[in-house]
């Protein structure tokens, strides 16, 4: 595996780092989470204006042709800057999965003309009902929970009983109703009901699995950035906070926590980069995606929790930046499969 980034990939990461540090610093992102919207409303338009949505797509769709690996540094910087947005869901999870299943819709995502959000979590006790006609149209009755970014979505992507098929429903279509759900992870979440909503069926081999796995990789890299920021905050605090006449970083209880963070981050970085590289080079990437999401789901909980503990009591204050990696990371760890679900899938693939 070649982890060397190209000049273009490095430039994309550098551009993201400069944008987030200059225009969307941590205090601005923190304040955005406290608004009525729950996020900074200017962040997504800035991402769109920079043309980042086209980056992972084939050249014929206006992209760089480098695939998911082209966006790794960008996603990592998003995590470091607490910059949650529809990008992992629409551009990566839905967009790349739709390149084969619905090229027109993938092209619209790349051209900043569509935001397609997967609505994957079915509500308990609700039976999906769908009627079709011969030209691929569908009328859907269903309910989906914890669907992010519905207010910015143009389309919603809903799984159907056949794992190769999904329904594309316009977010503003008749019969689509969304109610906001509580959220502490920075992303607005919705309970979405489809009551006779009309749309179309798109299909490709393993489409639903591709959406889940691509989303898992994107969220894993996002969590990697969150963990890196947690380490930086903890390390800096341990150098400046003095107790018993010494910086607390000189005490083993603190230094060992920081050392363990480094080990987890570097292990996770290798897994995340490899999963993205496998997809971008056209190789089988399922196990790579599952390894990355399973590891980062657990590691993010450890790292962000330990970073708070290094800060002591101040780490529990809502104003402190060290709080947000824990909140965002906890939500990301539960999206596109939990660590337990991915480990179970790996075990099943090995034992079956």
Q: Where are the domains of the chain?
A: 7-114, 117-204, 208-351
Classified as helix, coil or strand, 291 is helix
Q: 10-34 pLDDT, tens per residue?
A: 999 999 999 999 999 999 999 998 8
Percentage above 90 pLDDT, the chain = 88
Q: 61-82 pLDDT, tens per residue?
A: 988 888 999 999 999 999 999 9
Q: pLDDT grade, residue 352 (50/70/90)?
A: confident
For residue 132, give both structure tokens: 């079709």
The answer, yes or no, to whether residue 325 has pLDDT greater than 70, is: yes
Report the top-level CATH class of 7-114.
mainly alpha
Q: What is the mean pLDDT of residues 47-62?
A: 93
Whether CATH 3.30.1330.60 fits 208-351? no
Q: What CATH superfamily classification does 117-204 receive? A: Butyryl-CoA Dehydrogenase, subunit A, domain 2 (2.40.110.10)
The answer, yes or no, to whether residue 181 has pLDDT greater than 80, is: yes
* Rounded distance between C-alpha atoms, residue 312 and residue 249, angstroms: 13
Total residues found in the chain within this entry: 352
- 155-159 and 116-118 beta bridge pairing: parallel
Classified as helix, coil or strand, 202 is strand
The answer, yes or no, to whether residue 128 has pLDDT greater than 90, is: yes
Q: What is the mean pLDDT of residues 326-332?
A: 95
The answer, yes or no, to whether residue 134 has pLDDT greater than 80, is: no
Contact by Cβ (8 Å): 153, 179: no
pLDDT value of residue 65 = 84
What CA dihedral angle connects 279, 283, 287 and 290, to 10 degrees? 0
Average pLDDT, the chain: 94
* Rounded distance between C-alpha atoms, residue 63 and residue 40, angstroms: 27
Q: What is the mean pLDDT of residues 274-294?
A: 97
Q: What is the mean pLDDT of residues 78-104?
A: 97
Q: pLDDT grade, residue 238 (50/70/90)?
A: very high
Span between the terminal Cα atoms of the chain, in Å: 28
pLDDT value of residue 222 = 98
The answer, yes or no, to whether residue 186 has pLDDT greater than 90, is: no
Residue 156: count other Cβ atoms within 10 Å of its Cβ.
Answer: 29
pLDDT value of residue 2 = 66
Percentage above 70 pLDDT, the chain = 99
């Amino acid at each position: 595996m070649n982890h060397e980034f190209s000049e273009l990939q490095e430039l994309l990461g550098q551009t993201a780092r400069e944008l987030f540090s200059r225009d969307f610093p941590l205090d601005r992102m923190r304040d955005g989470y406290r608004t009525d919207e729950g996020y900074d409303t200017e962040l997504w338009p800035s991402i769109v204006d920079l043309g980042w949505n086209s980056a992972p797509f084939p050249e014929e769709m206006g992209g760089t042709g480098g695939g998911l690996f082209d966006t790794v540094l960008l996603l990592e910087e998003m995590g470091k800057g607490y910059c949650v947005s529809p990008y992992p869901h629409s551009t990566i999870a839905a967009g790349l999965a739709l390149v084969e299943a619905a090229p027109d819709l993938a092209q619209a995502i790349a051209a900043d003309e569509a935001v397609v959000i997967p609505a994957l979590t079915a509500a308990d006790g609700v039976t999906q009902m769908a009627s079709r006609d011969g030209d691929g149209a569908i009328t859907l009755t269903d309910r989906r929970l914890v669907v992010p970014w519905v207010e910015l979505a143009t389309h919603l992507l809903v799984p159907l009983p056949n794992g190769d098929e999904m329904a594309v429903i316009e977010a503003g279509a008749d019969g689509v109703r969304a109610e906001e759900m509580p959220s502490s992870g920075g992303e607005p979440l919705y309970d979405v009901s489809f009551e006779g909503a009309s749309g179309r069926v798109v299909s490709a081999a393993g489409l639903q699995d591709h959406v889940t796995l691509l989303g898992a990789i994107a969220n894993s890299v996002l969590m990697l950035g969150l963990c890196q920021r947690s380490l930086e905050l903890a390390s800096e605090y341990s150098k400046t906070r003095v107790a018993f006449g010494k910086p607390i970083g000189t005490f083993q209880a603190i230094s060992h926590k920081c050392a363990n963070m480094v080990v987890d981050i570097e292990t996770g970085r290798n897994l995340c980069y490899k999963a993205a590289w496998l997809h971008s080079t056209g190789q089988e990437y399922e196990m790579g995606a599952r390894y990355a999401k399973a590891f980062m789901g657990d590691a993010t909980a450890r790292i962000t929790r330990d970073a708070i503990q290094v800060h002591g009591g101040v780490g529990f204050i809502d104003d402190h930046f060290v709080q947000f990696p824990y909140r965002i990371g906890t939500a990301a760890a539960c999206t596109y499969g939990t660590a337990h679900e991915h480990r179970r899938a790996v075990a099943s693939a090995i034992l079956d």
